[in-house]
Amino acid sequence: MKTIIGLGNPGKEYENTRHNAGRIAVEYFVKKNDLPEFRLDKKSNSFVSKSGKILAVLPETFMNKSGFSAAKLFKAKKENKDLVVVHDDLDLPLGKIKISYGKNSGGHKGVESIMRAIKTKNFVRIRIGVISGKKKPVDILKFIVGKFKPDEEKEFKKVLKKTAESLETIIDSSPERAMSEFN
């Protein structure tokens, strides 16, 4: 079974923000593939959609505590190609995704939380670029919890489709194939 975790913050004030790119992408994937509606799983404090070989997860913890949900729903092994974490990335431009396996967190607090909780960095990550323009904003926190501008939304919607296609490739084939097709 593939466990797909979409990182973000819960609550209305964080809906459609850059920091919730991973959460939004997993919601889109579930809807696009007609998977069951998300239901609250109290044990993991997350919304889950389970269908056959897919468990989609939206932690209801804040980003920095995402590992709590991951550890309750996924038991780590040496190789964890069945765990896919989807999240925002400030080092990638808007419209780009990057799929990797076994890499460091890159300073992403949600990814760090998962690494600590499952005691490994060996899992698949899909990083979604959220930076528009050539350089990072001065106030990063304000930027990442900010909503996409109308022209950015258009580009973000394209990347949601690309992310869903990459998840489908990971599920139907392999992470390596998805990397070669989408990176």
Per the structure, the count of domains in the chain is 1
Q: Per residue in 87-133, pLDDT tens?
A: 999 999 999 999 999 999 999 999 999 999 999 999 999 999 999 87
Range of the domain at 78: 2-182
Tell me if residue 108 is catalytic. no
DSSP-assigned beta bridge partners for residue 171: none
Closest to 77 (Cα-Cα) out of 139, 136, 133, 120: 120
N residues, the chain = 183
Which position has the token pair 């269908």? 51
| Residue 38 near residue 49 (C-beta atoms within 8 A) | yes
Q: Radius of gyration of the chain from Cα atoms?
A: 15
From 18, 19, 96, 125, active-site residue: 19
CATH of residue 29's domain is: 3.40.50.1470
The pTM (predicted TM-score) of the whole model is: 0.96
Q: Per residue in 50-70, pLDDT tens?
A: 999 999 999 999 999 999 999
